[in-house]
Amino acid sequence: MRRTLITAACAVVTATTALAVPASAVPNEASGQASEYVVLYKDGASLTDARAAVEAAGGAIVHENTDVGVATVRSTDAGFAEQVRRQGALDGAASNRVIGRAPKTGKVTDPFAVEKEGRNRTTGTTAVQRGKKGEEPLADLQWDMKQIGATAKGSYRVEPGDRRVTVGVIDTGIDGSHPDIAPNFNRKLSRNFTTDIPVDANGAEVDGPCIDEPDKSCNDPADVDENEHGTHVASTIASPRNGLGMAGVAPKVSLVNLRAGQDSGYFFLQPTVDALTYAGKRGIDVVNMSYYIDPWLFNCASNPADSPADQAEQRTIIKAANRALNFAHRHGVTLVAAAGNEAIDYTKTNTDASSPDFASEPGEAPYERTIPASCLSLPGEGDHVIPVSSTGVSERKAFYSSFGDGYIAVAAPGGDTYDNAEQKADPEAGIWAAYPEAIARARGELNPDGTPNTPWVVRSCKGGKCGYYQSIQGTSMASPHAAGVAALIVSKYGKRDRRNGGLTLNPAVVRSVLTSSANAKACPPTGSYTYTRYVLQADGSYEKVVTTHPCEGSKRQNSFYGEGIVSAFNAVRR
């Protein structure tokens, strides 16, 4: 997943490896200034008792989510978290961190990002001439849609989706003005649950002055994406068939921006909880979560490598996240998430040296620890979540995709620019989807006349309007394919939602149809895949990298593909 579990602009897995971390720009506790925490109320405790307990612990509530008993609290007491654990009406506290855009060398780039290299291709307005009859102009780039049967002769013909079905994109935002997203963007329902900040908890510049933001504000409206990850995800789910660019899996459903990720690509606990409970209360049918909740890639309840305070924080994250996931599930939300880009088996013991990935205290840094299978990466391993692994053009599990028998529910196209035998990165083997023009210009990826100057970006124009698209890869890109199929299932089989309007379908039914309609795929005959890549180095040379991943399980269910590769066509044709 990308920082956001996964995406890197024009990369293999973008953070969009993306699991994120919510953080508040909080001054150091040692200075006597207030720090922020997410506090979990005890199950069964009254609001009156919980609020009194927060005050008794030395905190002041600044935001409260009464649906799941979670509050954002400020305190000047350096021992606040310990005081919380002594209160009978409270269940724990976790530091709340809020950051803005990460440094260029920070989390924005996925750990599996590939170089922007590859063969040249036609770009610019000529892209509008590429489409075949009945297809979008850039449909020839969409090997991913062909892999799952989301084509003009496949699912588009049987069930293109219903506008009454809503898909919430819990991510870094959605560029609602992109011409290949705007027709399906639900501005009224969209919300932003985060606020970017100029500096981090240690006073280091993160997002810079708010005046330098593209919209001149650190409090972005709900139709903005200054990262790129959320826009790419949204486009894959539901770009319309409008004669411009490319179409998504469900080209007639509605997209709702539920922004929980910072511009930096960090996703924290409180915005995730708020986005999930909002989705449940507003009748959102499906949510896509291509990230992990920062600062812990894996949350362990009692890992001896962690301090008592860090153990308590991770227990709080597990409990709070699962409360929100359960709330959303009970209210009819189908929960889909990226499986992760660490290229590891989540059901085995692993080593993590990346957490905590955001320092809330001076000098705090990641440290190496052994991770047993009981530790949870959230939301992917949360209650009622459908984790999705990633495939390449050949249907081979992508080299970066994490896996695990009993963990992976289904697989979906996420891109693998090294999919063929021994080769250098090929942008056409990534996933192509919408790209905010403002970001492309800021990165110098466009010529003065607006045409792209990199093989990782293409343009399509119609009637004076142009849309830009980029190739990236990651389980962040696989998850929205499955979310799009889930939206088609609700469109096809859903019933009238008498409470919220639109359509609704029990998430258990959606999951059953999604998995039973997937194309089963067995482990490789040898029992494993060996990946050979030639990775560009800083000096211009290429380093040969070889890795091998073992596969476990049967054709019906295994560690690479779960119950199979999702199929939009199979899901709606019966």
pLDDT of residue 21: 26
Q: What is the strand order of the sheet 90-95 is part of?
A: 60-65, 70-75, 35-41, 90-95
Q: What is the DSSP string of 404-447?
A: -TTT--EEEE---TT-SSSB---GGGSEEEEE-HHHHHHTT-B-
Q: How far apart are CA 371 and CA 401, in angstroms?
A: 18
Instruction: Single out the residue of 147, 294, 265, 258 nearest to residue 206, CA to CA.
Output: 265
Q: How far apart are CA 168 and CA 258, in angstroms?
A: 6
pLDDT of residue 137: 97
Residues comprising the chain, all counted: 574
Instruction: Please say whether the beta carbons of 262 and 101 come within 8 A.
Output: yes
What does the domain layout of the chain look like in residue ranges? Answer: 4-24+100-573, 29-95
pLDDT 10s digits, 336-384: 999 999 999 999 999 999 999 887 666 778 999 999 999 999 999 999 9
Query: What predicted TM-score, i.e. pTM, was given to this entire model?
Result: 0.91
- What residues contact 147, with CB distance under 8 A and at least 6 apart? 391, 393, 395, 413, 565
Residue ranges of the chain whose pLDDT lies below 50: 2, 6-31, 99-129
Instruction: Single out the residue of 246, 28, 254, 24 nearest to residue 131, CA to CA.
Output: 246
> Which helix (H) or strand (E) segment is 389 a member of?
strand 385-391
What are residue 460's DSSP bridge partners?
Answer: 467
Q: At what angle do helices 475-493 and 229-238 cross, to 10 degrees?
A: 40
Residue with tokens 């590769």: 565
Secondary structure class of 451 (helix, strand, coil): coil
The CATH architecture that domain 4-24+100-573 belongs to is 3-Layer(aba) Sandwich (3.40)
Q: What is the 3-state secondary structure (H, E, C) of 345-369?
A: ECCCCEEECCCCCCCCCCCCCCCCE
pLDDT of residue 134: 82
CA–CA–CA angle 351, 359, 361 (5° rounding): 125
Q: What is the DSSP string of 87-154?
A: -TTEEEEEE-B---SPPTTSTTS-TT---S-------GGGGGG-PPTTS-TTGGG-HHHHHTT-STTT
Q: Buried b vs exposed e over 442-480: b needs ≥16 C-beta within 10 Å? A: eeebbeeeebbebbbbbbbbbeeebbbbbbbbbbbbbbb
Output phi, psi for 20, to 5 deg: -120, 175
In degrees to the nearest 10, what's the CA dihedral of 427, 389, 306, 320?
A: 110
pLDDT of residue 11: 36
Peptide bond into 240 cis (omega under 30): no
Q: How far apart are CA 371 and CA 356, in angstroms?
A: 13
The CATH architecture that domain 29-95 belongs to is 2-Layer Sandwich (3.30)
Instruction: Please say whether the beta carbons of 244 and 467 come within 8 A.
Output: yes
Strand ranges (E), 441-527: 457-462, 465-472, 495-496, 503-504
Structure tokens at 416: 């693998």
Residue 203: count of CB within 10 angstroms of its CB? 13
Strand ranges (E), 253-364: 254-259, 286-289, 334-338, 350-352
- What residues contact 485, with CB distance under 8 A and at least 6 apart? 148, 150, 249, 250, 412, 514, 566, 567, 568, 571
Instruction: Single out the residue of 126, 128, 18, 26 nearest to residue 74, CA to CA.
Output: 26
Structure tokens at 540: 């211009």
Q: How far apart are CA 178 and CA 294, in angstroms?
A: 29
